[in-house]
Amino acid sequence: MIDETVEEISEMQTHSSSVVAVKAAQALRDLTDREYPTVEDYLRSLDRNSSALRRANPSHASLHTTQHRIVNTVSDAEPDDVAAAKELTNEAIDDVIDSVESSKDRAAARAVSEIADDDVLLTHDFSSTVLAAIDDAIEAGHSFEVYVTESRPRFLGRKMTRHLSDRDGVDVTLIVDSAAGHFMPEVDRVLVGMDCIVDDTLYNRIGTYPIATAAADNDVPVTVVGAAAKYVDGAFAFENEIRSPSEVLREPADGFEVANPAYDATPTHLLDTVVTDDGVHEY
């Protein structure tokens, strides 16, 4: 299961950073079904497999922090035997999953106050927290028009569009990324998720920065929603992932280069609010 999860994360078959963190945590349960002669062997295997999961996407702050939390919880407890180490692992995994899911739910619930105006929204990429926020607002009796960018080159917005199209009360339109500025005058609010915020910079799926810039030029507020744990400090050094040119161009590049960064950097001064499970942060 661990190898399959590493491949899934690496190939971006799972998009939302919260979902990635949960799946990676669950994958470590596979180790508790294996036999180890000593506690030291088990801890080495736990650290090695956790490192493989983290390397599958060096840009995901949630993935890194939750994996470190699991490994450190088990190692720091200095278990007496393998059975105790496995029990600690399962408990740490349960705690991480509960923390990620509950933080996402609380952040989504708080975001309702920002978007529950029957707004015309524009969103980018696929964010399970944004989706949950819209669901909560719909449950509160609101309806929305939503523009969703395709989020090339992996077309992550198509998944978001399909999910939203199943919701009553949502009139959704899929647009090409370069059309975000064209439709921005019709938009009341841009609503996006986040990979992480480090100092005064939001790191999110590539294309977020030009959307935020177009929104600022049109006086459209930008709201970011995500877990407070995605505010990170020096403990996590963001490392942008440069993905394969084959995602952009099927045939080999002949005489030119193909640049395919996964994320871009948006200055927080372009944001209106960041909604997390612990409150609403205004910029």
Residue 161 sits in a domain whose CATH number is: 3.40.50.10470
Letter string b/e over residues 114-123, b meaning 16 or more CB atoms within 10 A of that residue's CB: bbbeebbbbb
**Beta carbons of 147 and 121 less than 8 angstroms apart:** yes
Q: Give yes or no: residues 145 and 275 share one domain.
A: yes
Q: What is the pLDDT of residues 187-230, one digit of tens each?
A: 999 999 999 998 899 999 999 999 999 999 999 999 999 999 88
**Pairing label, strands 222-225, 273-276:** parallel
Q: Give yes or no: residues 268 and 139 share one domain.
A: yes
Last residue of a domain, one of 60, 83, 106: 106
Check pLDDT > 70 for residue 235.
Answer: no
**Beta carbons of 210 and 179 less than 8 angstroms apart:** no
Residue 184 belongs to what domain range? Answer: 113-282
Q: Give yes or no: residues 138 and 174 share one domain.
A: yes
Residue 162 or 1, more confident: 162
Determine which helix (DSSP H) or strand (DSSP E) holds 273, and give its type and residue range: strand 273-276
Check pLDDT > 80 for residue 237.
Answer: no
The total number of structural domains in the chain stands at 2
Average pLDDT of span 16-20: 85
What is the Cα–Cα distance from 124 to 183, expressed in whole angstroms?
A: 13
Question: Can you give the pLDDT at residue 156?
Answer: 93
Q: Give yes or no: residues 149 and 252 share one domain.
A: yes
Check pLDDT > 70 for residue 234.
Answer: no
Catalytic residues: 195
Lowest mean pLDDT among 50-64, 99-113, 210-224, 256-270: 50-64
Q: Give yes or no: residues 90 and 152 share one domain.
A: no
User: Residues of the chain with pLDDT > 90: what percent?
Assistant: 86
Q: Give yes or no: residues 10 and 134 share one domain.
A: no
Handedness of CA 246, 249, 254, 258 (dihedral sign): negative
What average pLDDT is seen over the chain? 94
Check pLDDT > 80 for residue 25.
Answer: yes
Last residue of a domain, one of 78, 106, 134: 106
Q: Give yes or no: residues 39 and 74 share one domain.
A: yes
pTM: 0.88
CATH number at residue 74: 1.20.120.420
Average pLDDT of span 63-88: 96
Counting every residue written for the chain, the total comes to: 283
What is the Cα–Cα distance from 217 to 92, expressed in whole angstroms?
A: 46
Average pLDDT of span 224-240: 83
Q: Is the peptide bond before 153 cis (omega within 30 degrees of 0)?
A: yes
Last residue of a domain, one of 83, 106, 129: 106
**Beta carbons of 204 and 238 less than 8 angstroms apart:** no
Q: Give yes or no: residues 46 and 74 share one domain.
A: yes
